[in-house]
Amino acid sequence: MSLMVMLVFVVFGCSRRNEGLTKITFWAMGSEGEHLGSLIKEFERENPGIYVDLQVVPWGSAHDKLLTAFAGNATPDMCQLGNTWISELHAMDALEPLDSFIAKSNVVKEANYFSGIWQTNVVGKKVYGIPWYVETRALFYRKDLLSVVGMHQPPKNWDELLKAAKLLTSYSTKLNGRPCYGIYLPVNPGLEWDEIFFAWQNDGNILKDDDCYSNVLSQNDREAFDYYVKFFKLGYSPMEANATTNLYQAFASGYVGMFISGPWNINELRNRVGYLNGKWSVAPLPVNKNRDANAGGSSFVIFRGSKEKEADWKLIEFLSLPENQLQFYRGTFDLPAVKSAWSEGSRHSSGQDSTLLGNPLISAFYTQLESSRPFPRIPEWEQVTDKMGQWIETVVWGKNTLDQALIGMDKDINRVLEKRRWLKSTGKMAD
């Protein structure tokens, strides 16, 4: 009985809402989707002709869902997309280029965004996504321990990072009476990409020739990987695959003194080990030839199959307004993609700066975002990073020398890219 009533309600509710309304379906992921409700309501109030059907998709199944939706011709009108997925969906020809919308927009302009982040949305010469929120990697460090060993500033370059790791390792080990480490780096960096950042920072590139061949045998790459492995060989980083299960505890207990991670850990640390507040801080990554890290985050995309592209774009523009970006940040702590939102907000009469830039923990990420860059925009990228991580791991465990591993890595990456080279050579791929 109650089921019937509900059914009637649903049918009735739908039919009434659809009357003369433009309906757009919007897939958003995880907590982002959950915090979007109030902004969507505001949008519908401002645009009485549009009804947004917001569907929250869990992050874990989002990737599969999108690809099956595409295969079954059931894509939504628009979607939030992790910006490393754009190349995959573009390879399937699922996304609408947005250049013509941007050209006539007063809100969305390339200059409003971090350039590295913007680039993640460009494939070939066309723009397929508008950045929504952003993330990159920075250095979390124990301020208190570092100053005890005589370093009052966070490490500024590669030598200082190595030195800080060394000093923290010996200081904490002595202090706690058991092995402790200066920095946590993953033994297999396949999912965290630290070795790739080091390669970029050494002016290296992972791929070459239009991302068709591996470049890991180059001198610059080799030096960077050598630097990465050194932290393990010298005993400054633990040989633990799953330190991350207890990373916050490990950081709080002094087991590791530094780690490289993303902005979400600011809140994780505050919530999980609140007693440590004030003893740690965040700095942009140390500079070698540059300080580049990945340009991450999520973008808005419009699917080719959407019939309401003008309405989709209106929603994108609405969510890209600085004040709405900031409101979204307050709900999710996802950093805004629009740069002006970072200095938006009130300055208290007490002189306290409540803008994002006024918070030193968060502003470190602003500096880092200014030198962020996209991963190669090819659908094989995940395979490439997995292979790299696995080969690096064998060097860390001493199973291969670095040079042996690099030869294997080079061969594996080139094999992964075979299909891409074939598509290029036959001219079947547009870009």
List of residues contacting another protein (CB under 8 A): 64, 67, 70-71, 88, 91-94, 187-188, 239-242, 245-246, 255, 379-380, 382-383, 386, 390, 393-394, 397, 399, 419, 422-423, 428
Q: How far apart are CA 104 and CA 106, in angstroms?
A: 7
Phi, psi of 395 (to 5 degrees): -75, -40
Output the six-digit token pair for 345. 């907000």
* C-alpha torsion angle, residues 343, 348, 350, 356 (rounded to 10): -30
Q: Among residues 53 and 382, whose Cβ is nearest to another protein?
A: 382
In the complex, least distance from residue 304 CB atom to another protein, rounded to whole angstroms: 11
In the complex, least distance from residue 107 CB atom to another protein, rounded to whole angstroms: 31
Q: How far apart are CA 303 and CA 74, in angstroms?
A: 10
In the complex, least distance from residue 243 CB atom to another protein, rounded to whole angstroms: 8
In the complex, least distance from residue 248 CB atom to another protein, rounded to whole angstroms: 13
DSSP symbol at 98 = -
Output the six-digit token pair for 354. 């409540």
Best CA proximity match to 139, nearest among 354, 272, 243, 287: 287
Measured CA angle at 155 (ends 153, 161), to 5 deg: 150
In the complex, least distance from residue 92 CB atom to another protein, rounded to whole angstroms: 4
In the complex, least distance from residue 65 CB atom to another protein, rounded to whole angstroms: 12
Q: Among residues 321 and 423, whose Cβ is nearest to another protein?
A: 423
Q: How far is CA 81 from CA 73, 242, 341, in A?
A: 18, 28, 21
Q: Among residues 17 and 399, whose Cβ is nearest to another protein?
A: 399
Q: Among residues 77 and 88, whose Cβ is nearest to another protein?
A: 88
In the complex, least distance from residue 26 CB atom to another protein, rounded to whole angstroms: 23
N residues, the chain = 431
DSSP states of 308-335 as a string? -HHHHHHHHHHHTSHHHHHHHHHHH-PE
Q: Among residues 270 and 419, whose Cβ is nearest to another protein?
A: 419
Sheet holding 258-261, edge to edge: 258-261, 138-142, 280-283
Q: Among residues 211 and 380, whose Cβ is nearest to another protein?
A: 380
Q: Among residues 175 and 241, whose Cβ is nearest to another protein?
A: 241
